[in-house]
Amino acid sequence: MPVFESLYAASMAAVRRLAPSLAGGSSKLGRGVRGRQTALTSLEAWAEDHRDPQRSLVWMHAPSVGEGLQARAVMEAVQARHPGRFQWVFTHFSPSAEPLARRMPVDWAGYLPWDVEGDATRALAAARPQVVAFTKTEVWPVLSRTAASWGVPTALVAATLPESSSRAGFPTRPVLRPSMERLDLVAAIAPDDGRRFRALGVRDDAVTVTGDPGIDSALTRAAAVDRDAPWLRPFLAAPRPTLVAGSTWPADEAVLVPALSRLRARTPALRVIVAPHEPDDAHLPPLVAALEREGWAPVPLSQVESGEVVDPDAVVVDRVGVLAALYSAGSWAYVGGGFHDAGLHSVLEPAAVAVPVVFGPAHANARAAGALLEAGGAVEVADVDGLVAALAAWIDDPSAAEAAGRAARGWIDGHRGAADRTAAALLRLLSPEAP
């Protein structure tokens, strides 16, 4: 085993031994550790009773929600081509993906077991996959190595590698290089992503450019929006100039809240719907307090759904799973993450419902954001003044906002089909005679 991969494996084994001491509490760390502690036995129990030896199995892994939606689009494209041919296992890393995992069209879903040799071996022995497919950037070294030793192909779908990615530098690069060299398929979002993966060690013949299956996912969810849903109907029934701010963090809200208050002074009918990236007890009360200090009367979405509150001026979304639909209630959309180092969240959902988008400057990780800027469907802002100016321009000229929304949707429409192209590439790894 290469030196850096050996060091990684030893480190993960040490973390695995320390896991019981980290499993307490309701934090994301505690939830994630608890999920990994039970994932392997749950997978083995499912396999004992339900693994069909006459059907091939595809193991699809995604770190969190955005990647999970990309993975789902690919899975659905495979299933559309070959209904019933495959069984599916879906694993994730982040606790944020728990609700999505429960809705996945798969045979078993849960946390990725610990990336240590014993757990990886047991998981592969239980699932007996014909391919292990990772999503976007996250390839787990021990699982990758163990799969390769069993002759199981590994793939990376919706593969993207920004120029600034830490995976291209030390110490991550030498740890991941053996995993990159083992990959049998890299379905890259764009040609420059493919080039960077080759520089990390992926074989030339393993790289193909298929586009971003997240675009197909966003289109599917846009088409499925239920305008009579209780979390959406009240806003459509009482239309007002509305900003839907999705996946926000405190750094976003420090810009967003004062900007909105300045805009409301000139547009009293303004309404704001804010969906924090983590709608938990650590985030919601400070957000509500910040809005109240600026003179808003924020209410939780649950009270709007129940009918307790009618036509509020500010709504704080207190649960997950509804943001993609809520964007369709917006005149404009703000996408969070652009004011901190973790990077921008997905701009695809508002673009898919033809809503113009605004976001902060930290979007190098999000290829679609740059593409929307070039297409005229989005605006980048650097501070409160910039956000006020961008939204004021759309408020003062609704036709400009509508044109930006059409441009955003036009870019989406021009890039559909990636999920099916990725499915075709993935299917080439699966022998027709499998299992």
The pLDDT tens digits for 227-286 are: 999 999 999 999 999 999 999 999 999 999 999 999 999 999 999 999 999 898 889 999
Number of residues assigned to the chain: 435
Which residues, 6 or more positions from 33, have their beta carbon under 8 angstroms from its beta carbon? 19, 22, 23
CB of 335 closer than 8 Å to CB of 345 = yes
Q: How far is 186 from 264, CA to CA, in rounded Å?
A: 48
What residue has token string 């031994």?
A: 17
Average pLDDT over residues 66-76: 96
Q: How far is 181 from 330, CA to CA, in rounded Å?
A: 45
Give the residue range(s) of CATH 3.40.50.2000 domains in the chain.
227-413
Q: What is the CB neighbour count within 10 angstroms for residue 52?
A: 11
Q: Which fold has domain 3-211+417-427?
A: Rossmann fold (3.40.50)
**If pLDDT is split at 50, 70 and 90, which confidence band does 169 have?**
low
Does domain 227-413 bear CATH number 3.10.129.10?
Answer: no
* pLDDT above 70: residue 435: no
Q: How far is 317 from 254, CA to CA, in rounded Å?
A: 17
The pLDDT tens digits for 292-331 are: 999 999 999 999 999 999 999 999 999 988 999 999 999 9
The pLDDT tens digits for 398-429 are: 999 999 999 999 999 999 999 999 999 999 99
Which residues, 6 or more positions from 366, have their beta carbon under 8 angstroms from its beta carbon? 343, 344, 345, 346, 347
Three-class SS state of 7: helix
Closest by alpha carbon to 232, among 328, 132, 353?
328
Which residues, 6 or more positions from 331, have their beta carbon under 8 angstroms from its beta carbon? 241, 242, 243, 355, 394, 401
CB of 110 closer than 8 Å to CB of 91 = yes
CA-based end-to-end distance of the chain:
29
The pLDDT tens digits for 328-344 are: 999 999 999 999 987 89
Give the residue range(s) of CATH 3.40.50.11720 domains in the chain.
3-211+417-427
Buried b / exposed e over 195-205, threshold 16 CB at 10 Å, is: ebbbebbbeee
HSE (CB half, 13 Å, CA atoms) of 34? 11
Q: How far is CA 230 from the centre of its chain?
A: 25
What residue has token string 């969240």?
A: 345
What pLDDT, on a 0 to 100 scale, did the predictor assign at position 379? Answer: 98
Entry pTM: 0.91
What pLDDT, on a 0 to 100 scale, did the predictor assign at position 18? Answer: 81
What pLDDT, on a 0 to 100 scale, did the predictor assign at position 35? Answer: 87
**If pLDDT is split at 50, 70 and 90, which confidence band does 24 have?**
confident
Beta strands of 64-179 (E only): which ranges?
A: 86-92, 108-111, 131-135, 154-159
Q: How far is 422 from 157, CA to CA, in rounded Å?
A: 7
Question: Is the torsion defined by CA of 109, 112, 118, 124 positive or negative?
Answer: positive
The pLDDT tens digits for 27-49 are: 777 888 888 889 999 999 999 99
